[in-house]
Each structure stands twice: as C-alpha cells, then as structure tokens.
Amino acid sequence: MPPFSASPQSPQPDPPPPFLEHPPELLILDVDGVLTDNTIWLDANGAEQKRFYVPDGTGIRRVARAGVPVALVSGRKSGVVDARARELGIEHAYSGVLEKAPKVLSLIAELGCDPERTVYVGDDWIDLDPMAVVGLPVAVANAIREVKEAAVAVTTVPGGFGAVREVCDWILRARG
C-alpha cells in the first residue's frame, strides 16, 4: 500500500487513514531532518547552532496539552537539542542514541502506550529500525526513499519547515 500523502494545496490535511484507525497516543520524533532542515552551523570554537521552525513547537505543545506524550530521539549528541526540548517542556529527550529501536520500545513500555498507536517521525537510515517497531511510522517529505516506503504516511512539507506541525495536526484531528 503506498503511503498517504495529502494535497500540497491543503494547509491542514486530514489525518491519514491509519491515524483514524489507531488514534495516536505517543509521538516520537527524530531531530535532524525532522525538527530541523538537516543544517548544522558550527563556529570556529565548535559551538553548534540549529534552526527550528516555530509552528512545529506550537504543534508539539498542543499535542502535549491534549495528553499525548512527546519524545525526541536523536542520533547526534547535541546540547541544542536538549535546550529545545527544555524550552518545549519535552521530558523525554535523548540525543546520541545510535540504536533507536530499543530506546523507542523502552519509552513505549515506560509510558504504558500501545506500539500500534505510537507515531515515529523520521527521515534517514537510522530511523528505519524504530519505524519498524511502531504502528504509525511517518516520513517527512524530504526523507530518503527507503524511509518513505516504510511509512504509513508522508508529510507534504519537508522537515524543519512544518512537517512536525502537520503530523501534530493529524494527531489532534484523529483524536477528535
């Protein structure tokens, strides 16, 4: 079955059918390429900066207020990710996680959530294993082909430019 993709003309598309069949109860996000546009700025001293899209943060806050826990699982160790998580009130933020599937399964168990009702949003090779252990894997529009093929839905916009907001809107609509 090909992944669901909303019309690019639709600013707030309806949730994909799997989200309606299994309303999400947990949202887990990769960071680089999902919450960011995959760009990292480093100065001469090695200080890192990343660019985040503010409406993604608004979506995350709305989903959390609706009772859906949100977690970040990043392959890169980054103080910037930790700072963004604190700013958004995300309690479950992990960076430097190279084996993401065990961390995802641990989070699902710790939070008492149903894997079939867990959303994982990814964009690259490192996201394939965690996508395989959840019922609602999502690829951002700029994800590699293999990630899109593993997804039940593909966002209409790329990571770092509103993909997370789109997924948050799907979650809120699917939950009523």
pTM for the structure as a whole:
0.92
* 73 residue type, one letter: V
In sequence order, the 6+-apart residues with CB closer than 8 A to the CB of 143 are 33, 122, 123, 124, 127, 151, 154, 159
Q: Record the tokens describing residue 49, joined without a space.
A: 């900066």
Print pLDDT tens along the chain (176 aa).
Answer: 345 444 343 456 799 999 999 999 999 999 999 999 999 898 999 898 999 999 999 999 999 999 999 999 999 998 999 999 999 999 999 999 999 999 999 999 999 999 999 999 999 999 999 999 999 999 999 999 999 999 999 999 999 999 999 999 999 999 98
Q: In Å, how far are 79, 130, 133 from 94, measured between CA atoms?
A: 10, 14, 18
Provide φ and ψ at 82, rounded to 5°.
-60, -40
